[in-house]
Amino acid sequence: MILLASVRVEIAGFMQALILVYSIMIFGWVVQSWVLSSGIRPGRLIPLFKFLDGVVGPFMRLLRRFIPPLGPIDLSPLVALLLVQLGGGTVAQLVGG
């Protein structure tokens, strides 16, 4: 029984690490969109930008269906961070016990 509890704690810790990594990726995606919209040529960062768009882009596009931009301000990354942090954190706490 103690082994099962230990495994649950390890899984919860892993989930929290994934939540942190995905949150950082969302932040990187936002910075990427600023760089691309400012007209700066990314050069060697193109593979990183493609990776971020492939991982974070579908989630952002899903959120943008439900959250329209307020003029030039796009709130979907903020909502995405809240969903990932609150929803993922809650699931990790439930798994960890």
Q: Using alpha carbons only, what angle is made at residue 77 by residues 12 and 48, rounded to the nearest 5 degrees?
A: 80
- Give 73's strand partners: 70
The conformation of residue 45, written as its DSSP 8-state character, comes to G
d(CA 84, CA 65): 17
Q: Three-state DSSP class for 23? A: helix
Q: Hey, which bits of the chain come out as E strands?
A: none
Q: What is the pLDDT along the chain (97 residues), one digit of tens a residue?
A: 677 778 888 999 999 999 999 999 999 999 998 888 888 888 888 999 999 999 999 999 999 999 988 888 889 999 999 999 999 989 988 988 7
